[in-house]
């Protein structure tokens, strides 16, 4: 059983808190009804659909919390799906807020989220209290909830970027970076859909949205565009971190390969000379004179030193 509450407003004041089976204001009266439902069940939707003439498709969509942000128009009513976001560890958690809006009522449905619990308090502090302005206040709170998420993801990514400049990323950090990239791309898609919803409410002729409220929706739309741009830049930064990490890893491997090749060349000289003498023992250095062996050793050391200096200048060592 979900939690469903109702309040009737007139001139910005609550005049009654009736049960759902009580009389509601009809179209044309200066009052309107605000229904708030938290995790409603099917029976709650059935009552709301019967009392307020909700479209069956909208009700079906609202019963599914997995809906993407959108706005649907049904004659004199609209159905709006919004998504809130919060960051938990490296994962962004989403929750849905649905709104059935007409000139005489607004029904908000929350699916496991309390993001708009302060919407009424925010509105009651102002002079406007109508269904379209309530919808704007809820959207405003939802959009404001995105900024801390984007800023926290940005902080994590920039921290990893700085760590990359100081040392190499380990496997766990690279895995975490992949998760953040996936979450940032998903958030970008959500912001794009939210921007489309707000753009329609701000620029199109939509039932229940007055001309007076449209500038407020345009303000929310501008912030969504800004968030979408920030998230896109964040995805680019994550991609740049990946590329920098790969380049540094390739550089490290190349440095190691050059060092091994240089030492192999240096050590190969005495090994080659010693191999030649071991296969020709009848002509060893001792047979050529008393100083033959020291001369061969000195020649090997000189060649090795020359190779070491050469590789050092080439920065292979």
251-279: pLDDT as tens digits: 677 777 777 877 888 788 777 777 766 65
Contact present, 59 and 43 (Cβ < 8 Å): no
pTM listed for this prediction:
0.74
- In DSSP terms, 109 is beta-bridged to 37, 98
Average pLDDT over residues 73-94: 87
122 with 165, same domain? yes
Q: What is the pLDDT of residue 234?
A: 85
Residue 239 predicted with pLDDT over 60? yes
pLDDT of residue 101: 94
Q: What is residue 297's predicted lDDT score, i.e. its pLDDT?
A: 75
pLDDT at 165: 65
As a whole number, mean pLDDT of residues 219-226 equals: 93
Q: What single-letter DSSP state applies at residue 129?
A: -
DSSP 182-221: HHHHHHHHHHHHHHHHHHHHHHS--TT--TTTHHHHHHHH
pLDDT, one tens digit per residue, over 165-199 is 666 667 777 778 888 888 888 999 999 999 999 99
Query: Sign of torsion, CA 39 45 51 56?
Result: positive
Q: Could you tell me where the DSSP H helices lie in the chain?
A: 42-52, 56-62, 119-124, 131-166, 171-203, 214-279, 292-313
Q: Taking Cα atoms as reference points, which of 104, 187, 103, 95 lies closest to residue 138?
A: 95
pLDDT value of residue 166: 66
In the structure, what pLDDT confidence band is assigned to residue 135 with cuts at 50, 70 and 90?
very high
Q: Which residues constitute the domain of residue 223?
A: 3-248
User: Among candidates 127, 118, 136, 132, which has minimal Cα distance to 11?
Assistant: 127
Which of 196, 216, 248 is a domain's end point?
Answer: 248
Same-domain pairing of 259 and 214? no
The answer on 253 and 207 residing in a single domain is no
Residues 60 and 39 in one domain: yes
Q: Which two tokens stand for residue 95?
A: 């929750």
Residues 179 and 259 in one domain: no
Residue 28: pLDDT above 60?
no
Clarify whether residues 195 and 120 are in a common domain. yes
- The stretch 57-86 carries a mean pLDDT of 90
Q: Is 296 left (phi over 0), alpha (psi -120 to 50) or beta?
A: alpha
Burial class (CB in 10 A: 0-12, 13-18, 19+), 232: middle
Q: Are residues 205 and 288 in the same domain?
A: no
Could you tell me if 99 and 59 are in contact, meaning their C-beta atoms sit under 8 angstroms apart?
A: no
Ranking 96-100, 160-164, 188-192, 287-291 by mean pLDDT, the lowest is: 287-291
Q: How confident is the model at residue 115 (pLDDT cuts 50, 70, 90)?
A: low
Tokens for 90, please give them.
Answer: 């490296």
Same domain for 169 and 293, yes or no, is no
Cα distance between residue 83 and residue 69, in whole Å: 6
pLDDT at 287: 52
Sheet holding 3-10, edge to edge: 13-16, 3-10, 32-38, 105-111, 91-101, 77-88, 70-74
Q: Within this chain, do residues 142 and 254 fall inside the same structural domain, yes or no?
A: no
The confidence band for 120, taking pLDDT boundaries of 50, 70 and 90, is low
- Answer positive or negative: Cα dihedral of 191, 193, 197, 202: positive
pLDDT at 214: 92
Locate 153 and state its tokens. Answer: 């993801």
**Residues 229, 132 share a domain:** yes
Give the CATH number of the domain where residue 174 resides: 3.30.460.20
Task: Quote the pLDDT of residue 108.
Answer: 92
What is the count of structural domains for the chain?
A: 2
CA distance readout (Å), 138 to 115, 132, 191, 291: 8, 10, 16, 96
Range with lowest mean pLDDT among 52-66, 184-198, 238-252: 238-252
Check residues 121 and 241 and name the one with the higher pLDDT.
Answer: 241
């Amino acid at each position: 059983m979900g939690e469903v509450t109702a309040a009737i407003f007139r001139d910005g004041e609550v005049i009654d808190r009736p049960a759902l089976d009580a009389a509601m204001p009809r179209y044309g009266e200066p009052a309107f009804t605000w229904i708030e439902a938290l995790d409603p069940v099917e029976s709650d939707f059935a009552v709301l659909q019967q009392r307020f003439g909700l479209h069956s498709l909208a009700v079906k969509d609202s019963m599914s919390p997995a809906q993407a942000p959108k706005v649907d128009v049904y004659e004199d009513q609209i159905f709006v799906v919004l998504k809130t976001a919060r960051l938990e560890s490296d994962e962004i958690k989403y929750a849905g807020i649905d709104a059935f809006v007409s000139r005489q009522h607004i029904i908000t449905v929350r699916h496991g989220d309390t993001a708009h619990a302060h919407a009424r308090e925010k509105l009651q502090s102002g002079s406007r209290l109508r269904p379209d302005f309530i919808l704007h206040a809820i959207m405003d709170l939802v959009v404001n909830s995105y900024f801390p998420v984007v800023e926290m993801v940005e902080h994590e990514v920039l921290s990893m970027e700085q760590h990359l400049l100081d040392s190499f990323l380990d496997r766990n950090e690279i895995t975490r970076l992949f998760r953040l990239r996936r979450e940032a791309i998903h958030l970008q898609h959500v912001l794009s859909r939210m921007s489309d919803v707000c753009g329609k409410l701000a620029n199109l002729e939509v039932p229940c949205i007055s001309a007076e409220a449209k500038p407020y929706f345009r303000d929310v739309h501008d912030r969504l565009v800004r968030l979408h741009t920030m998230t896109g830049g964040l995805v680019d930064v994550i991609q740049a971190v990946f590329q920098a990490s790969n380049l540094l890893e390739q550089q490290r491997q190349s440095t190691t390969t050059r060092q091994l090749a240089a030492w192999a060349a240096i050590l190969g000289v005495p090994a080659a000379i010693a191999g030649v003498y071991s296969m020709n023992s009848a002509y060893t250095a001792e047979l050529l004179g008393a100083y033959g062996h020291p001369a061969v050793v000195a020649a090997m050391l000189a060649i090795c030193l020359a190779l070491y200096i050469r590789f050092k200048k080439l920065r292979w060592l």
